[in-house]
Amino acid sequence: MRVHVADHPLVTHKLTVLRDETTPSPTFRALAEELVTLLAYEATRNVRVSPVTVTTPVAEAHGLAIGDPRPLVVPILRAGLGMLGGMVKLVPTAEVGFLGMVRNEQTLQPDIYAERLPDDLANRQCFVLDPMLATGGSLIAAIDFLFDRGAVDVTAICLIAAPEGLEAVKKATEGREVTIVLGALDERLNERGYIVPGLGDAGDRLYGTV
């Protein structure tokens, strides 16, 4: 598993405002999208491309086009939805699928309660959006689901991760082509499963408590 933690003052500045508990939802939403766009730049470094030739007013120019099959972007509901706009702004030709996860209170494992993805992901590159990599449970379940459908590589974009969750994802995805791109790697998880210092509940801060 490859891990890339963004090391850029723009990312840290925006994350700092995002963490601030006085930042209201509209600002939080705008910043989350801007952050994803910055992280997506790094996350798409190995996106599949094909050579193309265009004609400029002066001569032929050899370039690249984002490939066939198109990358698949998968926000994890609900908080991952807050990252979708920023991602498709940067990769407008991507296809978008959805995965909804909820914690099963008996098994404490994430269950998939909603899924809207192509049946066959053979040869597809997938980009999972999940703002908070806490215990890693839902990200591991999402990555397993995508590989079981045939995906060849999965990149997760997360705003903040806890070291415990990152380690869990690393163990669970050994031998698979997985990349994690982060805005920040925080200190730890607390006893309630929140990232410290983190930013609280990302879904609540994006959408208000429901």
Q: Which of 155, 110, 91 is CA-nearest to residue 129?
A: 155
Q: Which of 83, 168, 95, 74 is CA-nearest to residue 131?
A: 83
Site string for ligand URA, 51-80 (x = CB under 6 A): ----------------------------x-
**β pairing state of 188-189 and 195-196:** antiparallel
Stretch that binds ligand URA, among 37-45, 114-122, 144-152, 201-209 (CB under 6 A): 201-209
101 annotated as a binding-site residue: no
179 annotated active-site = no
**β pairing state of 95-96 and 98-103:** unpaired
Q: How far apart are CA 150 and CA 115, in angstroms?
A: 16
201 annotated active-site = yes
Closest approach of Cβ 9 to ligand URA, in Å?
24
If you search the block for the tokens 């702004």, which residue do you land on? 89
Stretch that binds ligand URA, among 14-22, 49-57, 82-90, 191-199 (CB under 6 A): 191-199
Under rule CB under 6 A, residue 194 binds ligand URA: yes
Q: How far apart are CA 141 and CA 104, in angstroms?
A: 13
Stretch that binds ligand URA, among 49-57, 63-71, 170-178, 193-201 (CB under 6 A): 193-201
Q: What is the dihedral of CA 147, 148, 149, 150, to 10 degrees?
A: 50
Under rule CB under 6 A, residue 20 binds ligand URA: no
Closest approach of Cβ 55 to ligand URA, in Å?
49
Q: Residues annotated as binding site?
A: 78, 103, 130-138, 195, 200-202
Catalytic residues: 103, 107, 201, 204
